[in-house]
Structure 1
Amino acid sequence: MQMAYRTGVRRGTVALWCAVLVGLACVALSATIAPQSYAAAPGRVELIVLRKPRLAAGERRALRQRAGADFVRSLRIPEAEIVSVPAGRAQAALGELRSDPTVSLAVVDAAIEPAATTTGDPSFGALWALVNPGGPGATFDADVDAPGAWAVATGKGVVVAVVDTGTESTHPDLRRQYAINPAESGNGRESNGIDDDGNGLVDDWRGWDFVDDDNNPATTLLGHGVHVLGTIVAANGNGIGISGIAPDARALPVRVIGDDNRGSWSVLLEATEAVASAGARVVNLSLGGPADPLLGQLFAQIAARHPSTLFVAAAGNSDLNLDIGENVYPCEAPASNVLCVGASTSNDTRALFSNYGSRSVDLFAPGSGILSTALGGRYDSLDGTSMAVPFASGAAALLFSKDPSLSGKQAREDLIAHVEVRSGMISVSGGRLDAATALHSPNAHLGHGRPTVRSARVLVSSRCTTRRPRCRRAASLRATGGNGASALTYSVTRRNRSGAVVAVTHRTVQLRRSTATTTRLPVRLPAGAYRISIRTSGVNGRSKAAVRSFTVRP
């Protein structure tokens, strides 16, 4: 499975690679993992068994016989297989397997099911999560500041695997956004029936369906994965629909949830191993739920084998403090390159459904009333931590695009260190994702000190006279950097004739150390009242914010 994926698109084709957002349900939230065995025959329970390395075939058969287990299939995970036992002997078989010195781990193969779902109404504006202009029911600048991040990177050269319900390759906002497996494409290799790259997946040029075990990860019933895909990579500037947070990254779709809204942990683990081995730098996992901690350990082992990849997972939608309650996996898998994401609202508060925890959840991201791509070439608004995860995945793609040498652990640390701290967002970081500050700041893992940053001043000047009625009315900002690198982000809004809040301009500039910097707004300002949100950010996430009003007179 060692191969490199191209992030371009061949002329005349729609190409994907393997990896779909494992989002769980077709609607919004993340999935829960049921305790019963998944897909086993009636009266049987299936177990995941992880053996010690270099166990001979005869030794494996003897091990199964001692436990009274029948072989079902091997997993695409080193030394792992599925075995089946009578339901009445499941606990005894687990005890036998776990006591055997040749077994590393044995656990029931649990089912993945969708959690409760809600459909949001996009009442706060189409893409408030990227740029939030404020207004009724929304807080100005309560966003991830995508335009500020795009000044540094847009995701070019990065593959994001989306492990989910499947994709729609013909959606006009997605059809050119998929990664290509070059080893399985060109000269008829897409359909030659040969495993050209030797990874065990035949003709996997556009992703893989781990449910039906074929090379077409498309779905016509469950749009959860399509929604997640759009939030990450929907095309930018094409005059259609929306824009993803990392529009120049490419998606690797993988289907692990069937049309019955169910999947298994064994399939999830297989798919995660496959896309990480294929070179995906980010794996989006908009799914999860309470599960046996041993399954979390299995996931952590996969993450540890792929240190250059960041695995981004949903915290869940049960309004629980995960520090004192049940464990949610894969979000809480004990690995330094797994990022656990809760959901925030357009008012910069924790979404009431989102799980939280000062040790369990890493950060929050927009997850309420999120507009994105939907089946049938449409768009829809959904709620859930499933919707928050792709914003963090996209921000990670921007980081890897800026600095490909980052490890998954370092990318996680950078995103955590550069949040906008908000009360009520109980998490490791204590705040909401801020992609612009993460992209503009030196990497947190380098250990730079925290600078002080002085608030900016708004200076408005007008050279207009009755003889020059169409002159430029200028506004400028003045701010001073502190003891380290700093950035100044500002957003200007006004109200139109109908009273709606509209964005005028949004930009991020760098501040020099201990030097006053003046920046002029790059727009003409007609007479009227304006509101400007200013945020100055330093290394490791320290920031100051202010909102000012000013008037340009006729």
Structure 2
Amino acid sequence: MSISRMTVPGGLLFDLPAEDAQPAEQARTVWAAAPPPPAAEHPRPDGSTTGNTAEPDAPLPAEASPPPAQPGEILVQFSPDLSPALVEQALASVSGTPVEIIHGAATGPDGLLLRVTLPEGAEEAEAIAVLSTQPGVDFAEENFTVSVDAVSNDASYTNGSLWGMYGDATTSKNAFGSQAGEAWATGETGSAKVVIGVLDTGINYTHADLYLNVWINQGEIPISFRSSLADVDSDGQITFRDLNQAANKSFVTDINRNGRIDAGDLLKDQRWANRDDQDRNGYRDDLFGWDFVNNDNDPFDDNGHGTHVSGTIGAVGGNGVGVAGMAWEVQILALKFIGANGSGSISNAVKALDYYTNAGKAAVGQDFVATNNSWGGAGHSSAMQAAIDRTAEAGNLFIAAAGNNSRDTDRSANYPSSFSTLDSVGHEAVISVAALTSTGSLASFSNYGSATVDLAAPGASILSTTANGGYGTMSGTSMATPHVTGAIALYAAANPEDSAAEIRAALLDSTIATASLAGRTVTGGRLDAEAMLRAGAKPEASAPPAMASLHGTDGRDTVTGTADAEILSGVPASGSHLGRGTVDLLQGLGGDDIFVLGDARGAFYDDGNVRKSGTADYGRILDFQRGDKIQLSDDYDTYIIRSVRIEGVSGMGIYGDADGDGVYSGRDELIGHVKGFISLTSADLIFV
């Protein structure tokens, strides 16, 4: 291993491996999907080939054997603002070598999370025990390895093959499907403003049923193109739907010659992949996401699992081709942290989730809503819990596969689906999904839990997109989870203002009670995408009740309201008398009242004498409260508010700027007087 010197945030100087070094992986796991069959070769966009492994369409045994362990790597979380000397002291206690900063900084509020290798022959458990006693170490843990869990005119929908998308009222019926077909019939098919993160094995971004729904990082679009690219569909961003239109043909080239513009073309186009980290997020040319396995900007799927998951979430619908995803229009952000062999490290999962969280914070005009997490097999990880907390605090949901071990996760936890943010963040962002068969049974391989698994969704023999550009079936809670994530994408498109808590409530409150799930999930029910949309439908706003209007006369009046909201005016409702020469007293008594000092007829209490302020006529408001409003005429360009004592009563005077100089002078016309020293703002005023 070659070594380079590197200074990390906080001023610490460590020996870190050079970029070409291969990180060690701690492979302690139980497979949450059946082990993949021998790899089949399929072409990549550049003509090379890579292994295509697939989750088989078969149930998993109750317990699967873990892959061989590769000891020697741990994660260490240090306290915020810890001195460099204490960090080095802690690492020296186990002869640990820092190889990567996973999150935070020594001088930052989150503290520094490091990936650390141990000397050959060192026991991880012993090193963790030693580190846990060191000052400034919040926790030390293994860097676990996790694995994959495994009315449309689209051909596979119309021929009856796509049961997971059906409902009891679709042409091809299955009451135990997601009811997506019924949701589409309401006119809701998604939005390209909704961004879903898929933490998995990557995506075949050239697939004919996926390429239009691959996320484009708006911050990495070449600066020289931004003002010239045509937003053809006027959604406020540039997507592949825009880049495949003639208006943008001079900015793109079909390099891979497949007849369309996709991510594979842009990654090979030096105008787009210009080796400049334009959005300054630390990931150069991250146009479509990131490959955390190979640490590059090409998240192509060399396993197949991530592409299958992505198809269920967002395969393009209504195009007469292949399958349809839950959301026909969506942006899928590929966060590849699982490799060709179906396994990946917790440290890379943390980085992938943080990428999604931070991208959402930086996005303009995009709605980051949820990540899909169809993987599992590790033990509890404090580093992963912290990353999930961070994404929950940013307003995102974390949708996770319940696991394929046929066990009760109330008794034996499954991660990441058993994580919770309820205590740490104050609301629950994690949603755990079990797998349902086409006959309404809980799949034999699916985990369950009356307190830890929220609902079930179609997860057996699910047809979706594959990494070789085709279609195939897979089974697992991996396949159930994207049905839920896709339903959330549909809901978010229809209800863009709803919070994560509101989306979660709509999802769980709309499930269909299912006999096989009674006592086995929190809701006892299964996904119903159409009912979820109905749960989120906002009632049409009813017109506010008409407010009673109370008016004075031509003379001096005291107009007194009631406890209700009312409109109070010291002058008659009609006619030319606007209070000149009189002083009227207005008292609301209660409710959110409107005190009228002018209307379409003009400003009230204006004597027309520009030589004096007219303190002989005005409207005095006796009990102005927050929630009340003062109505003024727009006769004056400017009104001036200043404290003044009139007839022994202190308060705030409202003057029309008669001489137009923007500052008070003796010529400005007194219109109203608000008893008491009330700090009036523009929010308290209405102009007509």
TM-score, with length taken from structure 2 = 0.55
Q: Do 2:145 and 2:378's aligned partners in 1 also have CA atoms closer than 8 Å?
A: no
Deviation at residue 322 of structure 1 after TM alignment: 1.0
Write the mapping of 1:251-400 to structure 2, written as runs, cut at 5 A: 251-279=332-360, 280-292=368-380, 294=382, 297-306=385-394, 308-324=395-411, 326-335=412-421, 336-400=428-492
Separation of aligned partners in 2, 1:311 and 1:401: 18
Q: Do 1:34 and 1:111's aligned partners in 2 also have CA atoms closer than 8 Å?
A: no
Deviation at residue 309 of structure 1 after TM alignment: 0.7
Find the partner of 1:53 among 36, 55, 80: 80
CA gap of 1:123–1:191, structure 2 versus 1, over 3 A, is closer
CA gap of 1:320–1:410, structure 2 versus 1, over 3 A, is same
Write the mapping of 1:75-224 to structure 2, written as runs, cut at 5 A: 75-77=102-104, 78=110, 79-86=112-119, 87-114=121-148, 125-132=160-167, 140-150=174-184, 151=186, 153-156=188-191, 157-186=193-222, 187=224, 190-219=272-301, 221-224=302-305
CA gap of 1:442–1:209, structure 2 versus 1, over 3 A, is closer
1:411 is aligned to 503
* 1:154-195 residue CA offsets vs partner (Å, 9 max, x unmatched): 221200111111111211111111111011123466322121
Separation of aligned partners in 1, 2:433 and 2:182: 21
**Quick one: which amino acid aligns to residue 271 of structure 1?**
A
1:63 is aligned to 90
**Quick one: which amino acid aligns to residue 285 of structure 2?**
D
**Quick one: which amino acid aligns to residue 171 of structure 1?**
H
Deviation at residue 226 of structure 1 after TM alignment: 0.8
Separation of aligned partners in 2, 1:122 and 1:145: 13
Structure showing greater Rg: 2
SS in 2 for 1:343: strand
Q: Do 2:349 and 2:384's aligned partners in 1 also have CA atoms closer than 8 Å?
A: no
Deviation at residue 114 of structure 1 after TM alignment: 4.6
Q: Do 1:246 and 1:394's aligned partners in 2 also have CA atoms closer than 8 Å?
A: yes
Deviation at residue 443 of structure 1 after TM alignment: 7.5
Deviation at residue 275 of structure 1 after TM alignment: 1.2
Separation of aligned partners in 2, 1:93 and 1:347: 50
CA gap of 1:134–1:289, structure 2 versus 1, over 3 A, is farther
1:248 is aligned to 329
* 1:296-346 residue CA offsets vs partner (Å, 9 max, x unmatched): 53454334443x11111101111111112x211111112210110000011
CA gap of 1:344–1:134, structure 2 versus 1, over 3 A, is farther
Q: Do 1:363 and 1:433's aligned partners in 2 also have CA atoms closer than 8 Å?
A: yes
1:434 is aligned to 528
Q: Do 1:418 and 1:438's aligned partners in 2 also have CA atoms closer than 8 Å?
A: yes
1:507 is aligned to none
Q: Do 2:209 and 2:322's aligned partners in 1 also have CA atoms closer than 8 Å?
A: yes
CA gap of 1:159–1:125, structure 2 versus 1, over 3 A, is same
Deviation at residue 240 of structure 1 after TM alignment: 0.8
Deviation at residue 66 of structure 1 after TM alignment: 2.5
Separation of aligned partners in 2, 1:400 and 1:338: 17
1:457 is aligned to none
Separation of aligned partners in 1, 2:468 and 2:66: 31
* 1:459-479 residue CA offsets vs partner (Å, 9 max, x unmatched): xxxxxxxxxxxxxxxxxxxxx
CA gap of 1:126–1:275, structure 2 versus 1, over 3 A, is same
289-298 vs 59-68, greater mean Cα deviation: 289-298
Deviation at residue 134 of structure 1 after TM alignment: 9.9
Deviation at residue 143 of structure 1 after TM alignment: 1.6
**Quick one: which amino acid aligns to residue 320 of structure 1?**
R
Deviation at residue 68 of structure 1 after TM alignment: 2.6
**Quick one: which amino acid aligns to residue 215 of structure 1?**
N
**Quick one: which amino acid aligns to residue 419 of structure 2?**
A
SS in 1 for 2:404: coil
Q: Do 2:453 and 2:522's aligned partners in 1 also have CA atoms closer than 8 Å?
A: yes
SS in 1 for 2:132: helix
Deviation at residue 122 of structure 1 after TM alignment: 11
Separation of aligned partners in 1, 2:413 and 2:158: 34
* 1:90-113 residue CA offsets vs partner (Å, 9 max, x unmatched): 223212222234122211001123
CA gap of 1:240–1:171, structure 2 versus 1, over 3 A, is same
2:639 is aligned to none
Deviation at residue 381 of structure 1 after TM alignment: 1.1
Separation of aligned partners in 1, 2:283 and 2:307: 23
152-161 vs 240-249, greater mean Cα deviation: 152-161
CA gap of 1:304–1:174, structure 2 versus 1, over 3 A, is closer
Find the partner of 1:238 among 284, 304, 319: 319
Separation of aligned partners in 2, 1:429 and 1:282: 20
* 1:466-516 residue CA offsets vs partner (Å, 9 max, x unmatched): xxxxxxxxxxxxxxxxxxxxxxxxxxxxxxxxxxxxxxxxxxxxxxxxxxx
Using CA pairs under 8 Å that are at least 6 residues apart, name the structure with larger relative contact order, 1 or 2: 1
Q: Do 1:164 and 1:254's aligned partners in 2 also have CA atoms closer than 8 Å?
A: yes
**Quick one: which amino acid aligns to residue 292 of structure 1?**
H
Separation of aligned partners in 2, 1:97 and 1:234: 47
CA gap of 1:192–1:37, structure 2 versus 1, over 3 A, is farther
**Quick one: which amino acid aligns to residue 188 of structure 2?**
A
**Quick one: which amino acid aligns to residue 289 of structure 1?**
G
Separation of aligned partners in 1, 2:134 and 2:65: 27
SS in 2 for 1:63: helix
Separation of aligned partners in 1, 2:446 and 2:114: 35
Deviation at residue 82 of structure 1 after TM alignment: 0.6
Deviation at residue 50 of structure 1 after TM alignment: 1.4
Structure 1 unaligned segments of length 5 or more: list them: 1-22, 39-43, 445-554
The answer to whether structure 1 residue 228 and structure 2 residue 309 are counterparts is: yes
Separation of aligned partners in 1, 2:510 and 2:271: 44
CA gap of 1:122–1:348, structure 2 versus 1, over 3 A, is farther
**Quick one: which amino acid aligns to residue 454 of structure 2?**
D
CA gap of 1:33–1:113, structure 2 versus 1, over 3 A, is farther
**Quick one: which amino acid aligns to residue 142 of structure 1?**
F
Give aligned pairs, total: 408
Separation of aligned partners in 2, 1:189 and 1:417: 48
293-302 vs 315-324, greater mean Cα deviation: 293-302
CA gap of 1:174–1:140, structure 2 versus 1, over 3 A, is closer
SS in 1 for 2:122: helix
SS in 1 for 2:481: helix
Q: Do 1:161 and 1:251's aligned partners in 2 also have CA atoms closer than 8 Å?
A: yes
